[in-house]
Amino acid sequence: MKLNVELPGMKLDNPIIPASGTFGFGYEFSEFYDINILGTLSFKGTTLEERFGNKTPRIAESTSGMLNAIGLQNPGVDAVISNELVKLKKVFNKKVIANIGGSYEEDYIEAVKRISKSDIVGAIELNISCPNVKEGGLLFGTNKESAAKLTRLIREVTDLPLYVKLSPNVTNIKEIALAVEEAGADAISMINTLVGMRIDLKTGKPVLANTYGGFSGPAIKPVALKMVHEVYSVVNIPIIGMGGIMNAYDVIEMMYAGASAVQVGTANLIDPYACKKIIEDLPRVMKELNINDLKEIVGRAHL
């Protein structure tokens, strides 16, 4: 039974990748299990400068999902390289995906330049879809010209494979996917969270201090599947699919839609062992569904 898959610049033992923002810098999870079983991981969204993020409360929940409005809290790219990735390297012997966020083109460029020198980084995941920062982030991801321009600028400053993480909060995601492909992206990861809110019934005020946040979890899976399916039909680069993946069946479904690998996000927060359980359960589910090689099922829903 073959679980291995390939992404530009990365050969993975299996398609399971913890999603950025739900897995810290990886080493935190090594107290739960040996994280070397993962395909790879995408670490916490990193920006040029240190960021505290938004005010709390920055977590809310909803039926079959949750909202977050963290606002890219991270210690800044230099501290990530000198502290976090050093700790990660001690417990993880594979290359990782560096998720990079920013507010302006210049800080994306500088952060990517610096992180690209780290030998544990195997690919850049350009986050142009964070809904929780005031400047930049999502603004780059909701317009095809600015998405393409940023992708092009980043393409020039790194030799690493470049994955661009797209937002679902757009009118036409195919257009944006095509624009970043044309601009030099090697893969697309999708989808980031859907923008949403909750209101406290007693106070009548928004639950999140930031008012709006990113909605994730199993509730968004059908939206993610549809968008991956759509984008798969127009681009020629691989897709890393995510959005509400909770178990091995969800992984197969996402790959059927067109994903070459899958990111698991919110599930890690509910159950720190989620990725381990999914990886261990995949062979059983493949057998049940008569799948011998995961690479062969990518995009099956299009046949």
Partner 1 sequence: MNNIYSVISNEKIAYKTYKMILYGDTSKIKAPGQFINIKIDNEKTFLRRPISICDYDSKTITIIYKVFGEGTKILSTKKMFDDLDILGPLGNGFAINKKAKKQMIIGGGVGIPPLYSVAKKLHEENIEFDVVLGYNSKVDVFFEGMFRALGANVYVTTMDGSCGYKGNVLNVIRSKNLYFDYYYACGPRKMLHALVKEDYTGQLSFEERMGCGFGACMGCSHPTTDDSYKRICKEGPVLESFEVVI
Catalytic site positions: 130
**Least Cβ distance, residue 268 to partner 1 (angstroms):** 6
Q: Does 61 bind partner 1 (CB under 8 A)?
A: yes
Under DSSP, the state recorded for 14 is: S
- Applying CB under 8 A, which part among 52-60, 118-126, 225-233, 290-298 lies near partner 1? 52-60
Q: Which of 58, 52, 47 is nearest to 111 (CA)?
A: 47
Q: Does 197 bind partner 1 (CB under 8 A)?
A: no
Q: Does 271 bind partner 1 (CB under 8 A)?
A: yes
The residue within the footprint of partner 1, chosen from 17, 35, 60, 111 (CB under 8 A), is 60
Q: Does 143 bind partner 1 (CB under 8 A)?
A: no
The residue within the footprint of partner 1, chosen from 8, 9, 13, 24 (CB under 8 A), is 24
- Applying CB under 8 A, which part among 119-127, 155-163, 173-181, 267-275 lies near partner 1? 267-275
**Least Cβ distance, residue 107 to partner 1 (angstroms):** 20
Residue 298 has φ and ψ, to the nearest 5°, of -60, 120
Neighbours of 212 (CB within 10 A): 15
Between CA 129 and CA 165 the distance in angstroms is: 7
Nearer of residues 68 and 142 to partner 1, judged by Cβ: 68
**Least Cβ distance, residue 22 to partner 1 (angstroms):** 6
Cβ–Cβ under 8 Å, residues 35 and 14: no
Rg (CA), the chain: 18
**Least Cβ distance, residue 24 to partner 1 (angstroms):** 5
The residue within the footprint of partner 1, chosen from 68, 129, 151, 167 (CB under 8 A), is 68
Q: Does 290 bind partner 1 (CB under 8 A)?
A: no
95 token code pair: 């290359």
**Least Cβ distance, residue 226 to partner 1 (angstroms):** 21
- Applying CB under 8 A, which part among 6-14, 35-43, 268-276, 287-295 lies near partner 1? 268-276
Q: Which of 165, 135, 138 is nearest to 151 (CA)?
A: 165
Q: Does 131 bind partner 1 (CB under 8 A)?
A: no
- Helix 221-232 vs helix 173-182: crossing angle, to nearest 10: 50
Burial letters for 273-303: b for 16+ Cβ neighbours within 10 Å, e otherwise?
A: ebbbebbeebeebbeeeebeebeebbbebee
The residue within the footprint of partner 1, chosen from 14, 20, 22, 210 (CB under 8 A), is 22
Chain positions 212 to 251 lying near partner 1, rule: CB under 8 A, are 217
Cβ–Cβ under 8 Å, residues 127 and 74: no
Cβ–Cβ under 8 Å, residues 188 and 237: yes
- Greatest C-alpha distance within the chain: 55
Report the DSSP beta bridge partners of residue 11. Answer: 6
Residues near partner 1 (CB under 8 A): 21-24, 28-29, 31-32, 44, 52-53, 56-66, 68, 70, 73, 207, 217, 268-273
